[in-house]
Structure 1
Amino acid sequence: MQALDPDLLAAAIGAWLATRIPAPAAGTRQAIAVDGKTLRGSRTRGHTARHVLAAVDQHTGIALASTDVDTKTSEITRFHRPPRSPRRPARSRGDRRRAALPTRPRRLPRQARRTLILTVKGNQPSLHQQLAGLPWRLVPVADRATDRGHGRREIRTLKILSVSTGIDFPNAAQAIQIRRRRRRLDEPRRFTTETVHAITDLLAHQAKPFHLADWIRGHWSIENKVHWVRDVTYDEDRSQIRTGTGPQVMAAIRNAAIGAFRLAGATDIASATRHHARDANRPLALLCIT
């Protein structure tokens, strides 16, 4: 297994999973969250820890593609040139549309630029400064949502501003400002405020404000439904597999297990793993069902 090509393995697994997830409803977009994760246990004296970039369907929490990010490149470069990424068999033009959310935007493939939403952070200081300097005080709130949970209340507001020049990003069409205001339920007078900026090439008629808000918030699905499960349930960061492509191969296999469980309707991956580990026939039956 340590001699396998991890990209080919991930492509085969992703293609298998992609054909089994429900197709998006007519006229809607399939949102794909893109983010990287460092395999901390793969670090050696002579090599840094391996880093794997993954693309996850926001609705189902299933990883559809992954690729290694070595020390000679970056997440942006790997996203710019995916090695052999699987694709869902074409059904209709609407089904193939995707909204991707990489964490560090820069140059992106031409075929993907039509459907991208990218959060802009401090590691892109020039672009971040351009977005933050827009006249947001004059822009009305386009969407507002309130959530209550985990002992706190959060109010999220979203503003959208059409842009054509002055933004150093290819095909930029709209700038987005998301403001999150939180307060603990046991401290009603104490608020914390966080402001996030994003850029998209989607035009105003292509997506409503609440769609943009849902896709940006849904980016956390890759952390909650995949990366967190791999760390906590499968203890990935303490894995001592370091030889060859072993770390990337095991990451792809963990993604496959999570995806198979979610396709079968499991919401508690730890419980599902224990259940299937008790009987060798159960994993085989699971793969046949999914």
Structure 2
Amino acid sequence: MLDQGGDYLFALKANRPAMLAEVAAFFADPPEALAAHTTTEADHGRIETRHHRVTHCVDWIFGDRAEPGAPAMPGLATLACVIATRDGGPPSTRYYLSSARLAPQAFAAAVRAHWAIENSLHWVLDVTFDEDRARNRADNGPENLAILRRLALNILNTALPEMPVSRKRKRAGWSDNFARSIIGQMR
């Protein structure tokens, strides 16, 4: 990825407990003031405030204090933290590692872009196509069906954009004429 000009932005989760604890301790009491950016969004009847903080001081995470067996993070340039609060409820804190040297505003945009992909693709595939319950496990079957689901989703997304995908899928199953009209809109 890095050798082809791309960057990574990984969420740091509990499967690396020592690294997560070190990064959490760092953000709890940083040695210097950190660059920060706050966003507030009102969506789905709730208000969410996100406080983003980033640091480019990453050398301490490796060396003697590193977790044994921890994966090497080549090109690590940014550690970041998001503290999100919904409607005055308890805050949730997430930590991220990135190879890009991100300002807080750029980090906030990158994290939101990731969730946009999650919400617009993976959620739709799971809910509309019931992908998580697929039981095909042999050979190339899972990959082939995943490609067909994404192809079908792309076709459904481009045809009749004002109608929900789930409704278009159901109508195409009921009516051959409607299915032909959806397929006929492919370009």
Instruction: Give yes or no for TM over 0.5.
Output: yes
Q: 2:129 aligns with which of 222, 225, 234?
A: 234
After superposition, the C-alpha distances for 1:148-179 in whole angstroms (9 at most, x for unaligned) are: 23342211011111124122432111111111
Map of 1:191 onto structure 2: 89
**Higher fraction of helix:** 2
1:272 and 2:176 matched: no
Pairing 1:4-15 to 2, within 5 Å after superposition: none
Overall identity of the aligned pairs, in %: 25
SS at match of 1:142: strand
Pairing 1:1-290 to 2, within 5 Å after superposition: 109-111=1-3, 114-134=6-26, 135-136=29-30, 138-140=32-34, 142-168=36-62, 169-183=73-87, 191-204=89-102, 208-241=103-136, 244-264=139-159, 266=161, 268-277=164-173, 278=175, 279=177, 280-287=179-186, 289=187
Pick closer, same or farther for the CA change 1:113–1:132 going to 2, 3 Å.
Answer: farther
After superposition, the C-alpha distances for 1:78-111 in whole angstroms (9 at most, x for unaligned) are: xxxxxxxxxxxxxxxxxxxxxxxxxxxxxxx442
**Higher fraction of strand:** 1
> Residue type matched to 2:7 in 1?
T
Is contact 1:159-1:177 (8 Å) kept? yes
- Aligned length in residues: 171
Stretches of structure 2 that go unaligned for 5 or more consecutive residues are 63-72
Is contact 2:34-2:55 (8 Å) kept? no
**Which entry has the higher C-alpha Rg, 1 or 2?**
2
Offset at 1:142? 1.9
Stretches of structure 1 that go unaligned for 5 or more consecutive residues are 1-108, 184-189
> Residue type matched to 2:152 in 1?
A
> Residue type matched to 1:274 in 2?
K
CA distance in 2, matches of 1:234, 1:114: 31
Pick closer, same or farther for the CA change 1:131–1:144 going to 2, 3 Å.
Answer: same
Root-mean-square deviation over aligned CA pairs: 2.6
Pick closer, same or farther for the CA change 1:264–1:163 going to 2, 3 Å.
Answer: farther
> Residue type matched to 2:155 in 1?
A
Offset at 1:215? 1.5
Offset at 1:180? 0.4
Offset at 1:245? 3.0
Is contact 1:181-1:193 (8 Å) kept? yes
CA distance in 2, matches of 1:130, 1:245: 41
TM-score normalised by the chain length of structure 2: 0.76
Is contact 1:139-1:161 (8 Å) kept? no
SS at match of 1:266: coil
Offset at 1:269? 1.2
CA distance in 1, matches of 2:160, 2:108: 26
| Structure 1: 4+ residue segments shifted above 6 A | none
Is contact 1:139-1:160 (8 Å) kept? no
SS at match of 2:61: coil
CA distance in 2, matches of 1:248, 1:162: 38
> Residue type matched to 1:166 in 2?
W
